[in-house]
Amino acid sequence: MAGTLEFSPDDRYNAFITTCSTAPFSDGTLAGIAVAVKDNISTAGIETTCGSKILESYVPPYDAYVVGLLRKAGAAIVGKTNMDEFGMGTTTETSAFGPTKNPADPSRVPGGSSGGSAAAVAADLVPMALGTDTGGSIRCPAAFCGIVGLKPTYGRVSRYGLIAYANSLEQIGPMARTVEDASRLMSVIAKYDPRDSTMLDRPYDHRPSADIAGLRIGIPEEYFGEGVDPRVAETVRNAIAVLEGLGAETVTVSIPGMRHALAAYYVICTSEASSNLARFDGVRYGPAVDTRKTWHEAYQDLREEKFGTEVRRRVMLGTFALSAGYAGRYYAKAQVARRNIMQDFERALRDADIIAGPTMPTVAFRLGEKTDPLSMYLSDILTVPANLAGIPAISVPCGRIDGLPVGLQLMGRQFEDERVVDAAYAYEQEVRA
C-alpha cells in the first residue's frame, strides 16, 4: 500500500503553521496514517519555522532522523504544527503566527510549547503528532488538551535535525489520543542514530501491558504542595487510587532539590539558547541582512525585528548568565542544583518504580491571562525536574475540572520508558472500561 493522502483540515484552532494538501506515504507499520510534526523538526522540502519570523520561508534541505523514520514507516506527514517561538513558552502564545486555541475550550490556551501538535490531535485532525519537550513542552499541552504525551528518556530519540533550543534538556516525543498510539509512534522514532552523540543504543519497541500488580508508586510531597490547585491535586490523587486498585502500592518519596529546579532550569535553558540562537544572524540562517550597514548594526536590526520579545529576553538572560564574572555565580550553580535533583530522583526511584504527580499545577489558562513572564515560568515547576534529571515522563488524561482536562504525570528511571507507558496504559484501560 502506497499513495497520497489528501489533507485539508478545518484548522479553526490554528494548530498548523503549514499543511501539506497531498502527503505521500509508503508501505509500513504507519502506512497512510496522518502524522503532524512540530515546526522545529526539520522536514526536507517543507517549510520549518520554529514559530519564528526569523525562519519564515526556511525550507530545510534534509529530514530530521525521526522524520526519515516516519517516512520509512509509511506515515503521511500532513503538516507542521504551531509552537511557542523556538519552544520558549508554556501556552503557544509566543508564536509569530498567532496563538493556538484549546479544542477543549477555545477561550483557553492549549499549553506549550507543542500546543499545535496537542490541539491537532485533540481536535481529531490527526491521530498522532510529534512534539518536543525541553521543560514540559510535550506534557503540558497534552495535559491541557486532554491527550497523551511522552517525554522520552534523554538519549533515547535522535535530536538530529531538531532545531536546538536547549540541547542538554530536550527530546522529541510522541503525542496521541491513546497510550497505545503514543507507544506505537515511540516504537517508530526511538531508534539508534550515530549522528546524535548523546544517544545510547536502546531502541524502544513495546506493546503496552496493563499488568501493574506490585508496582511501587512514589508520591513526592513536593508535587502536591504550594502553588498546586487543590482540585488538581485531588483529581490526581483519585487517579493514583485507581492504580492502587489495580495492585500498585504507594510510598512517600521526596525530591528536596525541587526548590531549586525552576531557577536551575531557567539558567541552563537560557544559557544554551543564547548560544544556539547565535546562528540566526542573516548570514548562516535568517533573511539576508543589509550589507551597507556595519556588521553590528545589521545583526542587531535583524534580530530585533525578527525575534519576539520572549526570545530576546531569554537570549539576554542566557548571555548574562554565561558572561565573565557571572558564570560561576549562575551557570555553575545551576549545574550543581541539577546534579542534586538527579540524585534525588535516583534515590526516590530506588524506593519506588515510578513517581506520580500532576503534570501541571492548574488547568489551562485563559488566552492572554499570563502577562508577566515569571508567573508563566512558575507553571513549569512540575515538568522541568524530569528534563533536568533526563528521566522519562508521560502525561495521561485523568479527569476534568469545570470541563478542562487534568493530566496525571508518571516519571520513571532512565531508559524505563516502557514502565511509565505501562502504568499510563493500565490507568487508561481501567477508566475507559
Nearer to ligand GLN, 71 or 80 (CB): 80
If one asks whether residue 90 binds ligand GLN (CB under 6 A), the answer comes out as yes
Nearer to ligand GLN, 186 or 217 (CB): 186
- Nearest residue to 139 (alpha-carbon basis) of 163, 115, 161, 105: 115
Q: Name the one range near ligand GLN by CB under 6 A: 63-71, 83-91, 206-214, 297-305.
A: 83-91
Q: Which helix (H) or strand (E) holds 132?
A: strand 128-133
If one asks whether residue 380 binds ligand GLN (CB under 6 A), the answer comes out as yes
Q: Which amino acid is at 184?
A: R
Q: Name the one range near ligand GLN by CB under 6 A: 22-30, 88-96, 287-295, 326-334.
A: 88-96
If one asks whether residue 395 binds ligand GLN (CB under 6 A), the answer comes out as no
What's the Cα-to-Cα distance from 405 to each of 232, 328, 398, rounded to whole Å?
Answer: 10, 41, 7
- Cβ-contact 232, 362 below 8 angstroms: yes
Locate all alpha helices (DSSP H) within 277-330, ordered by sequence: 295-306, 309-322
Least distance from ligand GLN to the Cβ atom of residue 87, Å: 3
Q: Name the one range near ligand GLN by CB under 6 A: 59-67, 84-92, 247-255, 286-294.
A: 84-92
Least distance from ligand GLN to the Cβ atom of residue 25, Å: 28
Nearer to ligand GLN, 126 or 388 (CB): 388
Q: Which helix (H) or strand (E) holds 423?
A: helix 417-432
- Nearest residue to 193 (alpha-carbon basis) of 164, 162, 215: 162
If one asks whether residue 113 binds ligand GLN (CB under 6 A), the answer comes out as yes
The single residue of 95, 113, 117, 395 carrying the catalytic annotation is 113
Least distance from ligand GLN to the Cβ atom of residue 170, Å: 7
Q: Which of 60, 79, 89, 412 binds ligand GLN (CB under 6 A)?
A: 89
Three-state DSSP class for residue 186: helix
If one asks whether residue 87 binds ligand GLN (CB under 6 A), the answer comes out as yes
Distance CA 84, CA 346 (A): 32
Nearer to ligand GLN, 11 or 272 (CB): 272
Q: What is the CA radius of gyration of the chain?
A: 20
Q: How, if at all, do strands 216-220 and 128-133 pair?
A: unpaired
Least distance from ligand GLN to the Cβ atom of residue 88, Å: 5
Least distance from ligand GLN to the Cβ atom of residue 192, Å: 24
Nearer to ligand GLN, 287 or 373 (CB): 373
The single residue of 42, 95, 114, 137 carrying the catalytic annotation is 137
Q: Is 137 a catalytic residue?
A: yes
Nearer to ligand GLN, 83 or 410 (CB): 83
Distance CA 268, CA 384 (A): 11
HSE at residue 284, side-chain half, CA atoms within 13 A, is 6
Q: Name the one range near ligand GLN by CB under 6 A: 87-95, 191-199, 299-307, 391-399.
A: 87-95
Q: Which helix (H) or strand (E) holds 427?
A: helix 417-432
- Kindly identify the residues of this chain, within the stretch 302-361, that bind ligand GLN according to CB under 6 A: none
Nearer to ligand GLN, 105 or 133 (CB): 133
Q: Is 113 a catalytic residue?
A: yes
- Nearest residue to 268 (alpha-carbon basis) of 390, 360, 159, 362: 390
DSSP secondary structure letter of residue 408: E
Residue that has been written with the C-alpha cell 503534570 in this structure? 359
- Kindly identify the residues of this chain, within the stretch 126-185, that bind ligand GLN according to CB under 6 A: 133-137, 165
- Kindly identify the residues of this chain, within the stretch 259-288, that bind ligand GLN according to CB under 6 A: 269
Would you say the C-alpha torsion 233, 239, 243, 246 has a positive or negative sign? positive
Q: Residue with CB nearest ligand GLN? A: 137
Degrees (nearest 5) of the Cα angle 195, 196, 200?
Answer: 115
If one asks whether residue 88 binds ligand GLN (CB under 6 A), the answer comes out as yes
- Cβ-contact 30, 64 below 8 angstroms: no
Nearer to ligand GLN, 87 or 318 (CB): 87
Q: Name the one range near ligand GLN by CB under 6 A: 16-24, 52-60, 86-94, 211-219.
A: 86-94
**How many chain residues interact with ligand GLN (CB under 6 A)?**
13
Distance CA 77, CA 172 (A): 16
What's the Cα-to-Cα distance from 338 to each of 241, 245, 325, rounded to whole Å?
Answer: 31, 35, 21
The contact set with ligand GLN (CB under 6 A) reads: 87-90, 113, 133-137, 165, 269, 380
- The residues annotated with a catalytic role in the active site are 38, 113, 137
